[in-house]
Amino acid sequence: MPPSSEPLPAAIALVISDVDGTLVTTDKRLTPATRAAVRRLEAAGIAFTIASSRPPVGLRSLVAELGLTLPMGAYNGSTLVAPDLTLLSETLIPAETAREAVRRFAEAGLATWVFARGQWNLTDPHGPYTDLERRTLQAEPNVVADLEPLLDQAAKIVGVSADAAHLEACEAETAAALTGRADVHRSQAYYLDVTPPGSGKAAFVDAMSRHLGLDHARIATLGDAANDVPMFARSGFSVAMGNAEPAVQAAARAVTATNDADGFAKAIDEFILRR
C-alpha cells in the first residue's frame, strides 16, 4: 500500500528500525534501495540503528553492510551491543519463568530454542525453520541433549511452529500466563518470543534517547510486528510496514509499502528526509 502523507511532528535526529519484516526482505536481503536510504540518512546528519529479535550474532552482517556505528538492541532490545558485538548490557529471563515457558511450549507441541550464553541452543538441529534461522543468523545452532541447564541464563526463548493460527493462540495463552514476568510476542508468524519483562524495544528507545541526549520526539521508529508497537509509543514518529497486521498499522503514525517493495527506503524518503 502507498505511504501515508502525515507530517512529521519534529525534526528527526535518530531512526531506529526493526530488522526482519522491515529492514530486510522476506528472504532476508538488504536491497540496494535500503542501503542507499541508510546512506542518505547519514548524509543528512540523521543517526541510524536497529532493534531486533535476533541475537547479537545475527546483527553482525548488518553492521558490515550498513556501516552501523551506534549501539544496537538484540533480543527485542533487552540486550545492548556495540557494533563489534561487545556486550553493553544484558537482561535475562527469570529462571522460573523460563522453565514455565519451556514447559508450556512443550505441552503445546512447539519446537523450542533457547538463546543463552551467546548461543542459539536447541535439541533438534533439523527441526522446523532451523535452516531459515541458519541463513538469517549466518551461524550454526548449539545442539544439546537438554535445555534445562540453560534456563537460568536465557536471554530469549522461542517457540517455533509452521501452524500460524496455533502459534497465535499460544501467544495469547502464554502472554496471559506470564503477565508481568516476561514479554511475549510473535516476531514472525512462525516464531513466538519470550524475553525479559519490561526490557523490550520501548526500553531500547529510552536507552538511545539517553545515549544521544535526544528528546523522544526526535526519534522515529519503523517496524512490522506486535513487538514493535511499544517502541512506536515511545518515539516521536512511527512507521508500520505494509506487510504489518492491521493492529500494528493502526498503532503507527504512518504506513509505508511492504518490506518486499522497498517500504523502508520509501518511508525514509517520504517521512524522514522530505520535510
Position 187 confidence tier, pLDDT thresholds 50, 70, 90: confident
CATH topology agreement for domains 14-90+199-273 and 95-195: no
8 pLDDT more than 60:
no
pLDDT of residue 234: 97
pLDDT of residue 2: 47
C-alpha span between 150 and 115 (Å, rounded): 8
Contact partners, residue 179, CB within 8 Å, separation at least 6:
none
Residue, of 216 and 200, whose pLDDT is higher: 216
Q: Is 128 helix (H, G, I), strand (E, B) or coil?
A: coil
Are 236 and 218 in contact, with CB atoms under 8 Å apart?
yes
pLDDT of residue 198: 84
pTM of the model: 0.89
What's the mean pLDDT in 166-187? Answer: 95
**Radius of gyration over every alpha carbon of the chain, rounded to an integer in angstroms:** 18
pLDDT tens per residue across span 9-32: 569 999 999 999 999 999 999 999
pLDDT of residue 183: 94
pLDDT tens per residue across span 230-272: 999 999 999 999 999 999 999 999 999 999 999 999 999 999 9
7 pLDDT more than 60:
no
pLDDT tens per residue across span 192-211: 999 999 888 999 999 999 99
Question: Residue-wise over 96-110: b if at least 16 C-beta within 10 A, else e?
Answer: ebbbbbbebbeebeb
95-195, CATH topology level = 3.30.1240
pLDDT tens per residue across span 51-89: 999 999 999 999 999 999 999 999 999 999 999 999 999
14-90+199-273, CATH topology level = Rossmann fold (3.40.50)
1 pLDDT more than 50:
no
C-alpha span between 249 and 226 (Å, rounded): 10
Question: Domain extents for the chain?
Answer: 14-90+199-273, 95-195
Tell me the pLDDT of the chain averaged across its residues: 95
pLDDT of residue 6: 53
Position 275 confidence tier, pLDDT thresholds 50, 70, 90: low
Contact partners, residue 259, CB within 8 Å, separation at least 6:
21, 22, 23, 24, 25, 26, 224, 241, 242, 243
For the chain, how many residues are written?
A: 275
pLDDT tens per residue across span 117-161: 989 999 999 999 999 999 999 999 999 999 999 999 999 999 999
